[in-house]
Amino acid sequence: MSPTAAYPVSTLLAGSTLQDLAKRDGDIPLANNYALVCEDKPGTELCRKSPYLYYCKDSGRLARYSSGMDVLFCSKNCQCINLSPKTCIDRLFIKAHCYVADGIARTVNGTSLGSVEDAEILPDGTLDFSQPEISTVSDGQPEVSTVSDGSHAVAKRDSAAAEHSYALVCGNRDWTSICQKSSYGYYCTSNGALRNTGKEVSFCEEACECVDLNPKPKCILSPYIAAVCSVKDEVAYNDEGQILGHIADASIYPNGTIDFTSSTIASRDVDNAGDWVLLCYNPHHTRTCNSSPFRYACNKNNFTSTAQDPVCDEICKCSASSSMYKCISRENFQTRCHIEEDKVYEINGTLMGNLLGHLDDAVIQPDSTIDFSADTGKIAATKDLSEAVVQHQSIVDISATPVKRADEHKDHWVLFCGNRPRTVTCGSSPISYGCNQSLVVHPQKEDDFVCDQNCHCINQWPYQPCTTKSNNAFCAVQDGIVFNPNGTVLGLLAEAYVHPNGTLDFSQLPVKREVASRSSELFHMHCLGYDGTEDDSLTEFCTDNGYVCRAGLDDALVHLQHGSQYLEQCSSQCHCPRPFSHRSTMPIDERSDFSQYSTSEIEVMESNITAPPSGVPSQYSDIYQLDCGNRRDGPVFCSSSDLGYFCLSNGTVARSSTEDNEAVTWCDFYCKCIFRHPVPCVNEWNIPLCQELSDGTIRDASNLSTVIGTINSAWVMPNGSLLLDRGMPYVAENTNVTQAKPPAN
């Protein structure tokens, strides 16, 4: 490695002073401006003094006195630095400051200009390297070193490519001639690319270019579209031979550019000259900003809105429809359209509409109409936002509590994009952003700029107070597993004793509770038909073929499993009830409008329910009480002396009577056991204690006016706590669940 390569001039001089540089040889005064520099000051002093005696010649070359000792360190690390930088003229006649080290002139950035001995020194001391000299190498071919003429010239085109109009130009005539010689063989291809058939030379690679002697003009088709074109008989064509327009209808600039824009835009018909269109990056975000609660719209070129949103402020703009282009869709319909990047969108009234296609797939007609009618490619259908909202019925107030998606691998990580409307937009088809734990993912190939900037994943599993054998802490709960603050497993959620304040206690064995019979609902598989309703025949078919719900080893929840045979219909349409996943049930406000009779006697008889045992001596349970038909008078009716319904200590229903009448049929069907007293519960609002009431609701035990769920949408966990379906919002005190009227006596 050369000294200069190892220690660039700029590096050696950076932060140095003249005192840092060694003195020029002091034993014999030399009238030059070169100083000896050997890596650092001690190294310079070492090499300058006896017994080594290195010094700088007036030409800037490193030398050693005859009495001095040759040493590898000094030879490799010493160089001569010019303390008075010169001006140099390079081979392209460009003046620049240069430094001379070891007889070689270099630019400030280290590029070699040549040996000082080969340069012409002008009267002002400038080193001129522009004068040519051609040296001969051993094979008789000229070497690329200097040139003989400063005039620019174009070499002949390579004989193998004589049919095209590109010519090789390498700075000037001599350089072009040298690079074109057979040793190097540089030439131009018919498409203007530089190639060579011989030795590759970095000088020719950098200095040579292919110049079109008969360049094609550029044709401007619209403010966004320009293309290379050819002109024949006063008609402009693109590279594919399609007619772009007549020269007489275009403006021609001094550089030969043919502009069809001014004439064609002026001649467009204006559909609604007064209309202004709201454009917000793409149609999905346009609809979001235009809908409630924001209601962005255009009043000419200004926004109006009912609620301000900083994202809409940033991405939206208003554009006059009269300035937009004409487009022809794949279905051969004409429409106004807007270009965003390389995508073309139709205009739907005063809003940006669906994607028509990409510019590369369109044909630009002579009048600048963007034509997709010949494109057979399919554009994915865009779902209306109202359809997307249906998929997210469980979103109540996503700005406060983001929605959990039952189809996500880790459904305690939820997508949140600043507010509810934008979360719905980014989480719905076709954008379909979601969460894989803390990572935002999406199945589509193309990113959405707005969602990328605003979406992130939130861990919805709370940190709960927990008590270990040694201390109290806050523990993360994920997938039914409780973790220590250091990340190690503390235990299963089902094994914890849950205190009334919600603390998970692992310092003592969990209290064994009799679990209500409805906890078995956790293990019931449900299969839905194509219409979205439960299909008993499909459930039976899938059960017969090995599909079943089983509890996992690592949590208290259940999962769909199957035997060796995989059936697509069963895997896609069957599921196990999962907490925190909203089931498509009738809204409470609609159910309250239904008849009090929710089930007829015939339906009761055809339901094949198992009747509770009869003739059992009446007992009292301090844990459970009856709930019959979600009516406050239901337990009174069924527990009367004539019927004698009550709850056993294990949470199952029994009756002391042996009667068999319509009233018994009703009570058999509608009675179940619920908790008599407040119990710990797991819910999205972290309410520690819940109370089940005979009207079918579950309420905050500390404020019974607050309904947080329904009994039919809750599960009893193995540790005796209630797990509430996340689909229930806070609802008013007068909420009525579906009630069934008992038969008249």
pLDDT at 69: 86
Residues 664 and 621 in one domain: yes
pLDDT at 551: 56
Between 463 and 63, where is the model more confident?
Answer: 63
Residues 366 and 490 in one domain: no
Q: Is the pLDDT of residue 307 over 80?
A: yes
Residues 611 and 712 in one domain: yes
- CA-closest candidate to residue 725, choices 571, 584, 528, 554: 584
- Domain membership flag for residue 87: yes
- Structure token digits, residue 289: 């900003």
DSSP 8-state assignment for residue 447: -
State the average pLDDT for the chain.
71
Q: What number is the average pLDDT over the span 40-59?
A: 87
* Rg of the chain taking only CA atoms, in angstroms: 43
The string of DSSP codes covering 552-573 is -SSSSSEEEE--S---HHHHHH
- Domain membership flag for residue 213: no
- The pTM assigned to this predicted structure is 0.31
Residues 633 and 720 in one domain: yes
Q: pLDDT of 157-171, one tens digit each?
A: 444 445 677 888 887
Which pLDDT band, with edges at 50, 70 and 90, does 235 fall under? Answer: confident
- Structure token digits, residue 197: 């058939």
Q: Is the pLDDT of residue 421 over 70?
A: yes
- SS3 of residue 609 by DSSP: coil
Between 573 and 400, where is the model more confident?
Answer: 573
Residues 592 and 720 in one domain: yes
Residues 540 and 658 in one domain: no
* Number of domains present in the structure of the chain: 7
Q: What number is the average pLDDT over the span 353-369?
A: 82
- Domain membership flag for residue 236: yes
- Structure token digits, residue 494: 């089902």
pLDDT at 578: 47
The string of DSSP codes covering 461-490 is SPEEEEE-SS-EEEEEEETTEEE-TTS-EE
Q: What number is the average pLDDT over the span 390-408?
A: 35
Residues 495 and 592 in one domain: no
- Domain membership flag for residue 539: yes
Q: pLDDT of 276-301, one tens digit each?
A: 889 888 888 998 998 888 889 998 87
**Gap between the Cα atoms of 567 and 561, Å rounded:** 11
- Domain membership flag for residue 736: no
CA-CA-CA-CA dihedral for 437, 439, 442, 443, to nearest 10: -70
Domain of residue 498 covers: 463-505
Q: pLDDT of 176-196, one tens digit each?
A: 888 888 778 888 887 788 888
Q: Is the pLDDT of residue 744 over 70?
A: no
Residues 529 and 608 in one domain: no
Residues 330 and 354 in one domain: yes
Q: Is the pLDDT of residue 374 over 50?
A: yes
- SS3 of residue 299 by DSSP: strand
The percent of residues in the chain predicted with pLDDT above 90, rounded, is 1
- Domain membership flag for residue 550: yes
Q: pLDDT of 566-590, one tens digit each?
A: 788 888 888 776 443 333 333 333 3
Which pLDDT band, with edges at 50, 70 and 90, does 646 fall under? Answer: very high
- Domain membership flag for residue 403: yes
Residues 598 and 713 in one domain: yes
SS3 content of the chain, % helix, strand, coil (to 5): 20, 30, 50
Q: Is the pLDDT of residue 500 over 70?
A: no
Q: Is the pLDDT of residue 205 over 80?
A: yes
Q: Is the pLDDT of residue 351 over 50?
A: yes
Residue 434, C-beta contacts closer than 8 angstroms, at least 6 positions apart: 405, 408, 415, 427, 440, 441, 442
